[in-house]
């Protein structure tokens, strides 16, 4: 995991955290490379660094590329314990460049950055823009360190980051493919056994037993797939591919009932291979279009 995380920031997902100057997010180990993901919702976000020794303060501000980008570009101000501004990242008057982060595979616009050696003390970092609206990523520190616990945290945080920060339907995608794996995976096992059943009465009887065992799994998978797909279509009801895929799913459900009935009554030499083949092909077509829509 540590090897995979080289050249990446330790992620800190704080998009739902409400902060103010008296309740800031605490930044520990400020020289270690970290990325704080936030979302301005009407007021600035605040971070606090407290150090008992001098350190190198590095800051960089980024915003997610579409679809996460909203609001004006953010700026950053750093004040010391006396309230004096010691560092500023002016997002309005800076050049923002496209940036691809390899670890998560996500696109950003990279804004201004600065490095300053500062004495021991307490520092407040303020992230804001004109309307205090929109998502941002605040990079702190330059030293790349990914011990095992941080590597595990990065792997766990990545799906949350994808969903909350980049607006990608990770949960829907996971549940949809969980249902597909259960239904289509079990069906493919059954399909292979049906093909072999054409040449052996013994395998035919074994297939009947396997069919009874996997039937509940197939229908659990179909149920999960149908429920999640309903949510997908409700969110985007005018998607033409989505509508066509919904029709395919309805056909899949009806044909699954037909095939299930035929398999439960089949005999050697009377294998419902054609209808099962059609069912398998329709499932794979549904999967292909589901990837496109989700």
pLDDT tens-digit map of 100-143 = 776 556 678 899 999 999 999 999 999 999 899 988 989 999 88
Give the integer Cα–Cα distance in Å for 167 and 165: 6
How much is the CA Rg of the chain, to the nearest whole Å?
27
Tell whether omega for the bond before 67 is within 30 degrees of 0, i.e. cis: yes
Q: What is the pTM of this model?
A: 0.59
Give the integer Cα–Cα distance in Å for 294 and 291: 5
Spans in the chain with pLDDT lower than 50: 1-7, 68
Q: Is the dihedral of CA 276, 282, 283, 288 positive or negative?
A: positive
Phi-psi region of 87 (alpha: psi -120 to 50; beta: other; left: phi over 0): beta
Query: Average model confidence (pLDDT) for the chain?
Result: 84
């Amino acid at each position: 995991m540590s090897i995979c995380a080289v050249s990446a920031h330790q992620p800190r997902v704080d998009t739902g955290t409400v902060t103010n100057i008296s309740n800031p997010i605490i930044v520990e180990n400020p020289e270690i490379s970290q990325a704080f993901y936030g979302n301005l919702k009407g007021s600035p976000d605040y971070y606090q660094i407290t150090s008992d020794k001098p350190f190198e303060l590095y800051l960089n501000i980024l915003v997610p590329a579409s679809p996460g980008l909203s609001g004006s570009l953010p700026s950053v101000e750093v004040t010391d314990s006396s309230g004096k501004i010691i560092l500023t990242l002016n997002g309005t008057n800076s050049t923002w460049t496209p940036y691809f982060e390899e670890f998560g595979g996500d696109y950003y616009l990279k804004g201004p950055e600065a490095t300053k050696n500062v004495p021991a003390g307490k520092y407040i970092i303020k992230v804001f823009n004109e309307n205090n609206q929109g998502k941002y990523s605040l990079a702190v520190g330059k030293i790349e360190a990914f011990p095992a616990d941080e590597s595990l945290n990065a792997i766990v945080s990545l799906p949350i980051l994808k969903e909350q920060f980049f607006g990608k339907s990770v949960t829907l995608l996971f549940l949809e493919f969980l249902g597909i794996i259960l239904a289509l995976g079990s069906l493919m096992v059954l399909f292979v056994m049906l093909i072999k059943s054409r040449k052996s009465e013994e395998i035919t009887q074994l297939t009947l037993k396997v069919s009874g065992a996997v039937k509940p799994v197939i229908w659990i998978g179909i149920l999960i797939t149908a429920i999640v797909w309903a949510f997908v279509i409700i969110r985007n009801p005018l998607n033409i591919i989505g509508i066509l895929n919904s029709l395919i799913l309805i056909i899949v459900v009806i044909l699954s009932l037909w095939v299930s009935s035929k398999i439960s009554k089949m005999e050697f030499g009377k294998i419902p291979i054609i209808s099962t083949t059609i069912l398998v092909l329709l499932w794979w077509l549904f999967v292909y279009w589901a990837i496109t829509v989700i």
